[in-house]
């Protein structure tokens, strides 16, 4: 988070964007949480695929 | 015995040909005419472009697969369509092909057909931007990842820049190389793979990574952006994309048409009329697409190309090409059956069909230059359209000419997209997205144009695993291995 904050300069284009917190970034690579998300995303994608055929 | 000819062996053409042969069996003939000897799973070219995969990992020889399927494979390019017949064929329609392999290079041949599928894909129109490419298409000053060969070349050039970045600052420019490009998604995926690889190589601090694109806002992706549920809000893809660019320290220039490329310099013009130059040491800029330049000839020899094809070279089908201004656009403008407007037995699938209009709102700079993304027609929609057209043709052959055509409008079809960053199973992440429908339908879904229950996106390892699975699954399917029909497009 601190590393991202260091790159942001007031009134630059990236000053008005959302940036992920340390917690959000950690969850993106937390294997246990991502196994759950893997199942959820697969189900969501399969529903879209089914609706599209 | 009926003969179905499929011109083109990409995602859409290969899907159409293989399903047509499966459904028609040995009693009818399916011919594939494609200038390529190898099939390419294009989404994984991104990994080839950063050296995480080789060309052999993303391609395979077509001949043995078509031999196994009983498909007549001609390694040739199609030159022209004669939908009314002529020459020595009487009223029988035919195409003219020119071989590019199989020991017959340069030889021309006429092939008659009962049904024709145009799946010729795009011509990579590097010439539309001076300096963007040269005759061999690899790029004079810039590289591309549109084919496996291009991607290998891109990686070769990228590694040189990584080497230089060990000692000095280098600038990498990635995005679109013209005001009317599509495939922003490919460039988006590539830029974050380059960023990831730079970190791995320990040169990220010496690399200034910049994005340039013709999107009026980040996250447009040629589909007018999308919204997804996040934290109790319907959040725009703009927030999602800008967040990712900020997080990874990538600067962006948008609403920009690259007007000229010189060695190490990209000239651009923006929607507000601003012009500028970006200096670079490595640039991957996607070229605009055009039709492959097929000719259509009437029986009396008259050139009817302008009746069969739109000015950009894509084939006109059952779309509403008279919709006019953006305010008049409707989801129902988009084609459903992909049948040619002048020949009932000719269809166009994938990138080869002419869309009725863009999906993103058309915009011009004060000088009158068009700067907006053209509509994507790749991946999942491409495969579904190919299969649907094959179904229509097979019904007409097996059930009679009055069998109704099957429909697959992009306004009633979703798409799943996974954009990776990195390739390792535990250290990469990916943005997994689904959008439904691809073409926004503002009558059914007022305001946002899409169903929020089926449009979503998130970043994480899970999407990355899905990307790996898709790579292996679609190559398995394309090779027609056991159970291939069970894998959806």
Give yes or no for residue A8 having a pLDDT over 90: no
The pLDDT value recorded for residue B285 is 95
Closest Cα of chain A to B267: distance in Å? 21
Nearest to B462 among A16, A17, A41 (CB): A41
Closest CA to B288 of B219, B376, B173: B376
3-state SS, residue B446: coil
Segments forming the whole domain that contains residue A42: 2-52
- Whether B429 sits inside 8 A of A48 (CB atoms) is no
Tally of domains in chain A: 1
Spell out which residues of chain B touch residue A11, defining contact as CB-CB under 8 Å. Answer: none
CB B237 within 8 A of CB B247: no
In B405-480, DSSP assigns E strands to 415-421, 429-435, 456-460
The Cα B192–Cα B245 span in angstroms is 9
Closest Cα of chain B to A26: distance in Å? 9
Six-digit token string for B254: 């948008």
Nearest to A53 among B242, B384, B416 (CB): B384
Six-digit token string for B463: 């999407």
Closest Cα of chain A to B246: distance in Å? 5
For B176, list phi and psi in degrees, rounded to 5. Answer: -110, 145
Nearest to B429 among A29, A35, A42 (CB): A29
Nearest to A14 among B246, B434, B461 (CB): B246
Burial of A11 (0-12, 13-18, 19+ CB in 10 A): exposed
Residue of B nearest to A49 (CA): B414
B265 forms bridges with which residues in the sheet?
Answer: B262, B279
The answer, yes or no, to whether ipTM is higher than 0.95 is no
The pLDDT value recorded for residue B90 is 87
Burial of B330 (0-12, 13-18, 19+ CB in 10 A): middle
Q: CA-based Rg of chain A, rounded to a whole angstrom? A: 17
Spell out which residues of chain A touch residue B380, defining contact as CB-CB under 8 Å. Answer: 49, 52
Cβ neighbours, 10 Å, residue B400 = 8
- Whether A28 sits inside 8 A of B460 (CB atoms) is yes
Helical spans, DSSP H, in B25-87: 45-48, 55-58, 62-69
Q: Does an H or E element contain B165, and which?
A: helix B148-165
Spell out which residues of chain B touch residue A8, defining contact as CB-CB under 8 Å. Answer: 246
| Cα-to-chain-centroid distance, residue B296 | 24
The Cα B292–Cα B76 span in angstroms is 13
> Which 445-474 residues of chain B touch chain A by CB within 8 A?
454, 456, 458-463, 465-466
Spell out which residues of chain B touch residue A19, defining contact as CB-CB under 8 Å. Answer: 243, 246-247
Residue of B240, B254, B437, B461 to mutate, testing the A interface (most A Cβ within 10 Å of its Cβ): B461
The pLDDT value recorded for residue B218 is 95
Six-digit token string for B153: 């070349």
Mean pLDDT (10-residue bins), chain B, 489 residues = 95 97 96 96 94 96 96 96 89 96 95 97 91 66 92 95 97 96 91 94 96 96 92 91 92 96 95 97 94 94 96 96 94 97 97 96 96 89 95 96 95 89 78 92 94 92 91 96 91
B289 forms bridges with which residues in the sheet?
Answer: B124
Q: What is the largest CA-CA distance in chain B?
A: 70
The pLDDT value recorded for residue B241 is 93
Six-digit token string for B419: 């954009």
Q: How many CB pairs under 8 A join A and B?
A: 93
Six-digit token string for B80: 């022209």
The Cα B159–Cα A22 span in angstroms is 31
The Cα B185–Cα B211 span in angstroms is 12
3-state SS, residue A13: helix
Report the interhelical angle of A31-52 vs B461-478 (nearest 10°).
50
- Whether A19 sits inside 8 A of B243 (CB atoms) is yes
Closest Cα of chain B to A48: distance in Å? 6
Report the interhelical angle of B11-24 vs B379-399 (nearest 10°).
30
CB B471 within 8 A of CB B44: yes
B325 φψ region: left (φ > 0), alpha (ψ -120 to 50), beta (else): beta
The pLDDT value recorded for residue B137 is 57
Six-digit token string for A30: 């937390």
Query: Strand B29-34 relative to strand B72-82: parallel, antiparallel, unpaired?
Result: parallel
Place of tokens 């503002």: B442
Question: Is B3-124+289-410 CATH 3.30.70.3270?
Answer: no
Spell out which residues of chain A touch residue B429, defining contact as CB-CB under 8 Å. Answer: 28-29
CB B40 within 8 A of CB B147: yes
Spell out which residues of chain B touch residue A48, defining contact as CB-CB under 8 Å. Answer: 414-416, 434, 436, 454
CB B462 within 8 A of CB A37: yes
Spell out which residues of chain A touch residue B245, defining contact as CB-CB under 8 Å. Answer: 14, 17
The pLDDT value recorded for residue A7 is 81
- Whether B416 sits inside 8 A of A49 (CB atoms) is yes
Residue of A17, A40, A50 to mutate, testing the B interface (most B Cβ within 10 Å of its Cβ): A17
pLDDT one-digit tens code per residue, A19-36 = 899 999 999 999 999 999
Query: Strand B256-262 relative to strand B265-270: parallel, antiparallel, unpaired?
Result: antiparallel
B434 at A interface, C-beta within 8 A: yes
Residues from A contacting B (CB-CB < 8 Å) are 4, 7-8, 13-14, 16-20, 27-29, 31, 33-35, 37-38, 40-42, 44-45, 47-53
Q: What separation in angstroms does the CA of A5 have from each of A9, B209, B250?
A: 8, 18, 13
The pLDDT value recorded for residue B136 is 57
The pLDDT value recorded for residue A53 is 77
The Cα A27–Cα B455 span in angstroms is 21
The pLDDT value recorded for residue B135 is 47
- Whether A17 sits inside 8 A of B245 (CB atoms) is yes
Helical spans, DSSP H, in B174-294: 184-200, 237-247
Any idea of the CA torsion for B7, B8, B9, B10, to the nearest 10 degrees? -140
The Cα B351–Cα B297 span in angstroms is 22
B15 at A interface, C-beta within 8 A: no
Cβ neighbours, 10 Å, residue B177 = 32
- In B293-304, which positions are buried (b, 16+ CB within 10 angstroms) versus exposed (e)? ebebbbbeeeeb
The pLDDT value recorded for residue B227 is 94
The Cα B461–Cα A35 span in angstroms is 9
């Amino acid at each position: 988070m601190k590393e991202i904050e260091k790159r942001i300069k007031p009134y630059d284009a990236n000053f008005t964007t959302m940036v992920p917190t340390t917690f959000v970034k950690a969850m993106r690579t937390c294997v246990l949480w991502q196994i759950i998300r893997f199942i959820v995303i697969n189900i969501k994608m399969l529903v879209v695929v089914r609706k599209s055929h | 015995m009926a003969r179905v000819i499929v011109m083109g062996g990409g995602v859409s053409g290969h899907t159409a040909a293989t399903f047509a042969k499966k459904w028609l069996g040995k009693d009818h003939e399916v011919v594939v005419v494609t200038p390529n000897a190898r099939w390419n799973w294009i989404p994984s070219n991104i990994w080839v472009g950063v050296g995480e995969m080789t060309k052999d990992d993303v391609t395979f020889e077509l001949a043995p697969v078509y031999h196994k399927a009983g498909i007549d494979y001609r390694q040739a390019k199609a030159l022209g369509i004669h939908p009314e017949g002529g020459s020595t064929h009487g009223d029988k329609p035919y195409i003219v092909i020119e071989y590019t392999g199989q020991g017959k290079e340069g030889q021309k041949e006429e092939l008659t057909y009962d049904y024709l599928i145009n799946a010729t894909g795009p011509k990579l129109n590097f010439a539309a931007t001076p300096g963007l490419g040269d005759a061999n298409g690899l790029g004079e000053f810039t590289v591309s990842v549109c084919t496996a060969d291009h991607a290998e070349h891109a990686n070769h050039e990228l590694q040189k820049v990584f080497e230089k970045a060990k000692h000095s600052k280098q600038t990498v420019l990635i995005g679109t190389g013209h005001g009317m490009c599509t495939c922003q998604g490919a460039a988006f995926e590539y830029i974050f793979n380059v960023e990831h690889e730079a970190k791995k190589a320990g040169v990220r601090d010496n690399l200034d990574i910049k994005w340039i694109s013709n999107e009026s806002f980040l996250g447009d992706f040629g589909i007018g952006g999308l919204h997804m549920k996040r934290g109790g809000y319907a959040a725009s893809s703009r927030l999602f994309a800008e967040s990712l660019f900020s997080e990874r320290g990538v600067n962006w220039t948008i609403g920009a048409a690259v007007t000229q490329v010189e060695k190490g310099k990209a000239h651009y013009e923006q929607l507000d009329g601003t012009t500028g130059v970006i200096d670079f040491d490595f640039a991957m800029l996607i070229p605009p697409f055009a039709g492959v330049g097929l000719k259509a000839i009437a029986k009396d020899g008259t050139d009817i190309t302008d009746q069969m094809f739109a000015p950009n070279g894509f084939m006109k089908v059952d779309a509403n090409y008279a919709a006019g201004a953006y305010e008049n656009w409707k989801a129902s403008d988009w084609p459903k059956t992909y049948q040619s407007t002048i020949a009932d037995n000719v269809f166009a699938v994938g990138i080869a069909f002419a869309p009725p209009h863009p999906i993103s709102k058309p915009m011009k700079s004060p000088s009158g230059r068009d700067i907006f993304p053209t509509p994507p027609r790749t991946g999942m929609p491409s495969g579904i359209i190919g299969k649907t057209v094959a179904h229509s043709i097979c019904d007409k052959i097996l059930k009679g000419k009055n069998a109704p055509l099957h429909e697959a409008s992009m306004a009633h079809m979703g798409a799943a997209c996974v954009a990776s960053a990195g390739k390792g199973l535990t250290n990469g992440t990916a943005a997994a997205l689904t959008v439904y429908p691809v073409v926004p339908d503002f009558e059914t879904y007022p305001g946002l144009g899409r169903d929020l229950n089926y449009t979503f996106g998130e970043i994480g390892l899970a999407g990355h695993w899905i990307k790996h699975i898709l790579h292996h699954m679609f190559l398995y399917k394309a090779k027609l291995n056991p159970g291939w029909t069970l894998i959806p497009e």
